[in-house]
């Protein structure tokens, strides 16, 4: 069991803290994983907000926890952990001395500074933490993705944080890595001989990694219109999933070995530069459409602007130039306001090399493995089988379906942020991103952004669809089709 720790949440009254971080810590409490005596110190900017904060947190939990998770007794006990503090993250005033006074009451304990702030102020916040003497040997700083807006700005931010914290104290979060189902990807690959022996260019035809969302801009117009889907989702979540799918087995399950293997994948990604961007990357933006039986506005209407070239959808055909993956296209796709919310990895195997049954027995479909990460977690393997109720030999696809959501239906609440905050408190960096990974990911993304700045604009797609037609055409060029949840046999 973890020792009691302190976690300071900068931006304590912000969207991320109220929607994700506090519910995650509440869940940790309910499960008995928040050590007695730990302190959660959300920062607010003004004195009056400090008094109101407990009520704000209370309301946030009632709104954002899942069904049956909130109850008054647990809330009352959990609220004892909360110590709201006044701190303006860019002003070097006395409030920081007060914060230090509180933290120094427990000088030896693990101290986590969670920067739930815009990346532009990370550096200044770390600087004041240092000037005011708040950084101890046992301190760690947690920073959110995306780090920067391009490789250069990311390097600047990382260098600035690095002036005050050692690399081993910097925990760069990508909440996808904290999802239990994402970790299960590694378990599936590296504890089953079945998959490990069928995981390369000899047997696999193509791999699709897709994260579709039904939400639109939500309340994040300011951030999103500057970022877009490439920076918001591909640079981090999708590339991390790609690494976990494509990497070699780490020789140990420690941070160093895992990161090394992931970095080899990023290094082997074939660069997409100039015309290669036009040929292999599709960007889209949603226009009004129908979703779940309701009319929904387009991106520009939600934004309240007459024009914007920001992409809300991206599809990429990527290649990893190494022995294992030579010639296998990896299709990456993400979008907002798409038909269904789903994150999944679809592995399409090659056709059998010779059809002994002939055309009369029907088409032999290639095997397909679908690992669904959310909303419900499952693993499906489609195989060919004889139709048993027919005298003649007729083949049909059948699907082995393992529903992990059903298996864990009682009381299991997977929560990536809970997992990652507890890991930061325990000083376990395995599920966090190294500075070099950030650098390599941007190195691949930067030329795509550069090309888009020079040329073209997003293709439009209806809200409630699967994205622009050009994304389908991208796969048709290789005789492939997107696997869309609910639409395939
Ligand atoms: C965040 C992005 O990192 O991930 C959001 O900034 C996106 O735009 C979210 O909606 C998706 O996360 P999840 O866990 O809901 O799939």
Q: Encode the chain in three state secondary structure.
A: CCCCEEEEEECCCCHHHHHHHHHHHHHHHHCCCCCCCCEEEEEECCHHHHHHHHHHHHHHHHHHCCCCCCCHHHHHHHHCCECCEECCCCCCCHHHHHHHHHHHCCCCCEEEEEECCCHHHHHHHHHHHHHCCCCCCCEEEEECCCCCCCHHHHHHHHHHHHHHCCHHHEEECCHHHHCHHHHHHHHHHHCCHHHHCCCCCCCEEEEEEEEECCCCCCCCHHHHHHHHHHHHHHHHHHHHHHHHHHCCCCCCCCHHHHHHHHHHHHHHECCCCCHHHHHHEEEEEEECEEECCEEECCHHHHHCCCCCCCCCEEEEEECECCCCCCCCCEEEEEECCECCCEEEEEEEECCCCCCCCCHHHCCCCCCEEEEEEECCCEEEEEEEEECCCCCCCCEEEEEEEEEHHHHCCCCCCCCHHHHHHHHHHCCCCCCCECHHHHHHHHHHHHHHHHHHHHCCCCEEEECCECCCHHHHHHHHCCCCCCCCCCCCC
Specify the residue with its C-alpha closest to ligand 1, atom 2. 232
**What are the pLDDT tens digits along the chain (489 aa)?**
899 999 999 999 999 999 999 999 999 999 999 999 999 999 998 877 777 999 999 999 999 998 899 999 999 999 999 999 999 988 999 999 999 999 999 999 999 999 999 888 999 999 999 999 999 999 999 999 888 899 999 999 999 999 999 999 999 999 999 998 899 999 999 999 988 889 999 999 999 999 999 999 988 888 899 999 999 999 999 999 999 999 999 999 899 999 999 999 999 999 999 999 999 999 999 999 999 999 999 999 999 999 999 999 999 999 999 999 999 999 999 999 999 999 999 999 999 999 999 888 989 999 999 999 999 889 999 999 999 999 999 999 999 998 887 777 666 667 999 999 999 999 999 999 999 999 999 999 999 999 999 999 999 999 999 999 999 999 999 999 999 987 765
Choosing from 237, 256, 413, 480, the catalytic residue is: 237
196 and 258 in one domain?
yes
Q: Is the dihedral of CA 485, 218, 306, 277 positive or negative?
A: negative
202 and 271 in one domain?
yes
Ligand 1 atom with minimal separation from the 343 CA:
16
Domain extent at residue 107: 5-144
241 and 120 in one domain?
no
181 and 128 in one domain?
no
Domain of 232, CATH number, reads 3.30.360.10
Centroid of chain to Cα 41: 25
Does any ligand 1 atom lie closer than 6 A to the CB of residue 415? no
Ligand 1 center–CA 212 separation, angstroms: 10
Ligand 1 center–CA 387 separation, angstroms: 42
Ligand 1 center–CA 174 separation, angstroms: 10
**Ligand 1: which of 116, 218, 233 to mutate, judged by most atoms within 8 Å of the beta carbon?**
233
φ/ψ of 100, rounded to 5, equals -60, -40
- If one counts the domains in the chain, the total is 2
User: What is the spatial distance between Cα 312 and Cα 335, in angstroms, rounded to a whole number?
Assistant: 6
Show the tokens assigned to 441.
């990911």
Does any ligand 1 atom lie closer than 6 A to the CB of residue 377? no
96 and 181 in one domain?
no
The answer to whether residue 237 is catalytic is: yes
Specify the residue with its C-alpha closest to ligand 1, atom 6. 232
Final residue before a domain boundary, out of 120, 144, 168: 144
Ligand 1 center–CA 336 separation, angstroms: 10
140 and 239 in one domain?
no
389 and 347 in one domain?
yes
Q: How far, CA to CA in Å, does 85 sit from each of 6, 7, 46, 47?
A: 13, 12, 9, 8
Ligand 1 center–CA 205 separation, angstroms: 29
**Ligand 1: which of 232, 310, 414 to mutate, judged by most atoms within 8 Å of the beta carbon?**
232
Specify the residue with its C-alpha closest to ligand 1, atom 9. 233
Output the pTM of the full model: 0.94
Does any ligand 1 atom lie closer than 6 A to the CB of residue 344? no
Does any ligand 1 atom lie closer than 6 A to the CB of residue 232? yes
**Ligand 1: which of 143, 224, 237 to mutate, judged by most atoms within 8 Å of the beta carbon?**
237
Burial (Cβ within 10 Å: 0-12, 13-18, ≥19) of residue 236: buried
- Cα pseudo-dihedral 238, 242, 245, 248, rounded to 10: -140
Cβ 28 vs Cβ 413: under 8 Å: no
Domain of 108, CATH number, reads 3.40.50.720
Q: Is residue 149 part of a domain?
A: no
User: What is the spatial distance between Cα 443 and Cα 445, in angstroms, rounded to a whole number?
Assistant: 6
402 and 361 in one domain?
yes
Q: Is residue 153 part of a domain?
A: no
Specify the residue with its C-alpha closest to ligand 1, atom 8. 232
């Amino acid at each position: 069991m973890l020792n009691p720790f302190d976690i300071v949440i900068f931006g304590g009254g912000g969207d991320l803290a109220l929607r994700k971080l506090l519910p995650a810590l509440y869940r940790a409490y309910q499960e008995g994983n928040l050590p007695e005596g730990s302190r959660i110190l959300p920062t607010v900017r003004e004195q009056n907000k400090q008094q109101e904060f407990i009520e704000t947190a209370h309301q946030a939990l009632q709104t954002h926890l899942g069904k049956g998770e909130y109850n008054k007794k647990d809330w009352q006990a959990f609220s004892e952990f909360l110590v709201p503090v006044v701190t303006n993250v860019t002003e070097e005033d006395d409030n920081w001395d007060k914060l230090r006074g509180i933290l120094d009451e427990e000088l030896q304990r693990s101290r986590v500074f969670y920067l739930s702030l815009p990346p532009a102020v990370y550096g200044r916040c770390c600087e004041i933490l240092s000037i005011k003497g708040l950084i101890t040997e046992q301190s760690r700083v947690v920073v959110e993705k995306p780090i920067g807006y391009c490789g250069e700005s990311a390097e600047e931010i990382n260098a600035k944080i690095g002036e005050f914290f050692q690399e081993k104290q910097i925990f760069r979060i990508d909440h996808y890595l904290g999802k239990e189902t994402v970790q299960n990807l590694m378990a599936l690959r590296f504890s089953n001989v079945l998959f490990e022996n069928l995981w390369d260019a000899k047997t696999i035809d193509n791999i699709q990694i897709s994260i579709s969302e039904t939400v639109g801009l939500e309340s994040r117009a300011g951030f999103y219109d500057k970022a877009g889907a490439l920076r918001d989702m591909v640079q981090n979540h999708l590339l991390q999933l790609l690494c976990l799918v494509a990497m070699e087995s780490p020789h140990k399950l420690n941070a160093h070995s895992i990161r090394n293997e992931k970095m080899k994948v990023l290094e082997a990604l074939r660069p997409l530069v100039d015309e290669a961007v036009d040929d292999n990357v599709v960007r889209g933006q949603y226009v009004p459409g129908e979703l779940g039986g309701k009319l929904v506005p387009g991106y520009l209407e939600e934004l309240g602007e007459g024009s914007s070239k920001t992409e809300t959808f991206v599809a990429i055909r990527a290649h990893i130039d190494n022995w294992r993956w030579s010639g296998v296209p990896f299709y990456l796709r993400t979008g907002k306001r798409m038909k269904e919310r789903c994150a999944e990895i679809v592995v399409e195997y090659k056709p059998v090399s010779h059809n002994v049954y002939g055309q009369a027995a029907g088409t032999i479909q290639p095997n397909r493995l679908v690992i669904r990460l959310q909303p419900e977690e499952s693993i499906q393997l489609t195989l060919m089988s004889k139709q048993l109720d027919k005298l003649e030999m007729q083949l049909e696809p059948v699907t082995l379906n393992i529903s992990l959501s059903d298996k864990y239906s009682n009381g299991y609440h997977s929560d990536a942020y809970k997992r990652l905050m507890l890991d930061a408190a325990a000083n376990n960096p395995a599920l966090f991103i190294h500075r070099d990974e950030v650098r390599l990911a941007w190195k691949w993304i930067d030329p795509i952004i550069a090309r888009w700045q020079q040329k073209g604009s997003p293709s439009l797609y209806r809200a409630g669809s699967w994205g622009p037609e050009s994304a389908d055409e991208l796969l048709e060029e290789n005789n492939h089709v997107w696997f869309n949840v609910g639409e395939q046999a």
